[in-house]
Structure 1
Amino acid sequence: MLNFFSKKDHKLVINGNQELLLEHKETVLNGALRHDIKFPHSCKVGGCGTCKCRLISGKVKEFTDKSYLLSKQEIAENYILACQSMPKSDVVIEIPNWDENSHEIAGYISNIEALTHDISKVSVSLESHIHYRAGQYVSIQSSDTDIPARCYSFAQSNTPGGNQLVSFFVRGVTGGRMSNWLIDPLNVNSKVTLSAANGDFYLRDQSAPVLCVAGGSGLAPIIALIEEAIQNNSAIVDQPLTLLMGVRSQRDIYYQDQINSLGKQWRNEFRFIPVLSDEPVASNWPGHRGFVTNYIDQKISLGATGYLCGPPPMIDAAMIKMQENGMDLNRIFFDKFLDQSGIKP
């Protein structure tokens, strides 16, 4: 007689060398974390895509639609979100460009510079050099507290020999334990551990115009991408670039001098366009108002490639606008910044 209520554990193999047993109804991510595997992740609710991995063999039950986070190519290559996938059999997965044993670097917070009323540039000095590609991110863990680690994108390019001083744009959010700890001036000199580098957000086509859309602290990886292109004398610097920055009001605009400096080094047209969504009607602001996504159709160039960083609603709306204007989904690359306020306890 068949027992339809039997519970069966399943085996999980990661990158061919990590083998562990998952409990009944345990997701790939939760099982890996329970076994102390340093699996790349951030939100754990299917909102950021940090935990994406390729399913090599086996079957999983997926709890949410992954098409809004993964590209058509990634879906065709059988990528899944580990936090939203529960094995239905033994499974083998691959995490590209990941080596659990070589990415932890200790350091300390060396400087905290307020950029706006809620965003700060946090600089971390490291015990050894770190190597990464512009657009990637790290997981930052406080060494002396129980605050859960969170992911932040590099706000600068990497040098050929690696960086020993790195920086991040961090926005303090309600309920965000790590973000508020990082931007607190009292925590200068506090010890941290970085797990890096992760992510596949980087500049692609070198022969196409560039349209960047950044919201809030999502400006960080965009700055890194632009710096890297200039630093490496990339062919893409000969293409026109437009950077749309969506913020609420004039007090939320930041890093203007640095952006203008980068624009002077860009060999083709470089347009920086702040868009304010909640600026008082009677203010002296002469520029664009409303949602930043409303200006995409006016600024998009034929054959352009899109790079989006910021909150999920902005990115979702931007992707729709770009596709409505003829941009192929496979030419749109993004990094969703899901803060702690969007995570259910």
Structure 2
Amino acid sequence: MTFQVTVTPSGRQFSCEADETVLNAALRAGIGLPYGCKNGACGSCKGKILAGSVAHGHHQQRALPELEAAQGMSLFCCAKPQSDLTIEAREIVASGEYPVKKMPTRIAKLEKLSDDVMLIALQLPANERLQYRAGQYIEFMLRDGKRRSYSMANAPHNDEHITLHIRHMPGGLFTDQVFSTMKERDILRFEGPHGSFFLREDSDKPVILLASGTGFAPVKAIMEHLIYLESSRPVTLYWGGRRPADLYMHALCEEWAGKLPYFKYVPVISNAAADDHWTGRTGFVHQAVMQDFPDLSDHQVYACGAPVVIESAQRDFVARCQLPKEEFFADSFTSEADLAS
């Protein structure tokens, strides 16, 4: 059975099969709804059902609490229609600008950035190019049908390769291979680009970049894109880690801060040990933003990292720092453990 979905406030419409998620149907129709993990864990695709009903597949309680569901909120990445729908969602004009491709790739380089973070450089086939926006991600297609998602760590105009920053998750199906058996010239397959986490270029508002751990990867790509644009928008990057070694490209951020008059870098460590000799900011990274910017009403925030960091930042920035909720853009890095919880 096919149902009709109407998006407000734009009034655009698309068809959705009964066994298809609202998000997939929208993307298939070229309508750019926001999304991140596509697994019901990050909440990026959340919108409101104004008319009609949906059935939700497996999702995380924190992404759609019972109270929100009772108020008509929905995770469009795992919601399947049971009738015609009218939904309220913020459309993203540029999200479908580049086609999603399935491509083979060869490992061009493996480089340890820290004890548990590996840089992988991917070489595309000759005469092939992946068009994407800085901040988006790709999905590796594994042999057993499973997929693993990683953000591009470089802007599309900045390197002959696509680079990724992959943290080792002990016992992880893919990351164990990355840190043990994977070698240069191995061939993988991926699909992309995906995601709606990228710079909104139609604004001149000051930018807060917020990263935790390897959430730095897409933030780095966005920063490189701002440099490429020769943008003069004020940018402050907050990068949080448990220990100083977690800030595995600290020197690059300091280099940007030394060269770019509009850029400021604030590293934040939550669990420094005595032998780290850390003298910088401490505590939770999103709270450092709040200390420095108690009023975010005229800012845009781009945040990437662990779900708890993203959820805390969005909640507190909107409720306590007057950030307009439509000016918070996020990519929540969800692991298989997050999806199973």
Whether these two folds match at TM > 0.5 is yes
- For 2:271, what is the secondary structure of its paired residue? coil
1:249 equivalent in structure 2: 243
With over 3 angstroms needed to count, the CA separation of the structure-2 counterparts of 1:298 and 1:55, relative to structure 1, is closer
Q: Which runs of 5+ in 2 are unaligned?
A: 6-11, 26-33, 65-71
Aligned partner (choices 114, 120, 123) of residue 121 of structure 2:
123
2:9 equivalent in structure 1: none
1:34 equivalent in structure 2: none
Equivalent pair of 1:62/1:85 in contact (CA under 8 Å):
yes
C-alpha displacement of 1:304: 1.8
Larger Rg: 1
Q: Which TM-score applies when normalising by structure 2?
A: 0.76
Aligned partner (choices 108, 111, 115) of residue 110 of structure 1:
108
**Is 1:224 the equivalent of 2:217?**
no
With over 3 angstroms needed to count, the CA separation of the structure-2 counterparts of 1:43 and 1:320, relative to structure 1, is closer
C-alpha displacement of 1:99: 9.4
Aligned partner (choices 309, 313, 323) of residue 314 of structure 1:
309
Aligned partner (choices 146, 156, 159) of residue 158 of structure 1:
156
1:209 equivalent in structure 2: 206
Size of the alignment, in residue pairs?
311
2:135 equivalent in structure 1: 135
Equivalent pair of 2:137/2:151 in contact (CA under 8 Å):
yes
C-alpha displacement of 1:194: 2.0
Q: Which TM-score applies when normalising by structure 1?
A: 0.75
C-alpha displacement of 1:278: 1.4
- For 1:318, what is the secondary structure of its paired residue? helix
Equivalent pair of 1:210/1:240 in contact (CA under 8 Å):
yes
Counterparts of 1:99 and 1:239 in 2: how far apart (Å)?
24
C-alpha displacement of 1:95: 10
Q: What CA deviation, in whole Å up to 9, does each residue of 1:88-146 have, x standing for no partner?
A: 1367999985599851121111111111111111111011111101111111124xx32
C-alpha displacement of 1:297: 1.6
Equivalent pair of 1:112/1:183 in contact (CA under 8 Å):
no
Aligned partner (choices 317, 322, 326) of residue 322 of structure 2:
326
**Is 1:292 the equivalent of 2:270?**
no
Aligned partner (choices 267, 272, 276) of residue 279 of structure 1:
272
With over 3 angstroms needed to count, the CA separation of the structure-2 counterparts of 1:17 and 1:149, relative to structure 1, is same
Bigger drift between 128-137 and 323-332 goes to: 323-332
With over 3 angstroms needed to count, the CA separation of the structure-2 counterparts of 1:50 and 1:331, relative to structure 1, is closer
Equivalent pair of 2:37/2:332 in contact (CA under 8 Å):
no
Amino acid at match of 2:237: L
Amino acid at match of 1:131: Q
Q: What CA deviation, in whole Å up to 9, does each residue of 1:143-200 have, x standing for no partner?
A: xx326211111100012xx965100111111342123323446332221122111112
With over 3 angstroms needed to count, the CA separation of the structure-2 counterparts of 1:91 and 1:41, relative to structure 1, is same
**Is 1:186 the equivalent of 2:179?**
no
C-alpha displacement of 1:330: 1.3
C-alpha displacement of 1:85: 1.3
C-alpha displacement of 1:65: 8.8
**Is 1:176 the equivalent of 2:176?**
no
Counterparts of 2:77 and 2:210 in 1: how far apart (Å)?
27
Q: Which runs of 5+ in 1 are unaligned?
A: 1-9, 32-39, 70-77
C-alpha displacement of 1:316: 1.0
Listed as ranges, the matches of 1:35-46 within 5 Å are: 45-46=39-40
Equivalent pair of 1:221/1:309 in contact (CA under 8 Å):
yes
Equivalent pair of 2:152/2:163 in contact (CA under 8 Å):
yes
With over 3 angstroms needed to count, the CA separation of the structure-2 counterparts of 1:121 and 1:50, relative to structure 1, is farther
With over 3 angstroms needed to count, the CA separation of the structure-2 counterparts of 1:65 and 1:338, relative to structure 1, is closer
Equivalent pair of 1:60/1:86 in contact (CA under 8 Å):
yes
- For 1:259, what is the secondary structure of its paired residue? helix
Equivalent pair of 1:319/1:332 in contact (CA under 8 Å):
yes
**Is 1:85 the equivalent of 2:83?**
no
Equivalent pair of 1:297/1:322 in contact (CA under 8 Å):
yes
Q: What CA deviation, in whole Å up to 9, does each residue of 1:46-69 have, x standing for no partner?
A: 113577799999631346699968
C-alpha displacement of 1:18: 8.8
Amino acid at match of 2:103: I
Amino acid at match of 1:156: N
Amino acid at match of 1:292: V
2:8 equivalent in structure 1: none
Amino acid at match of 1:285: W
Counterparts of 1:175 and 1:285 in 2: how far apart (Å)?
31
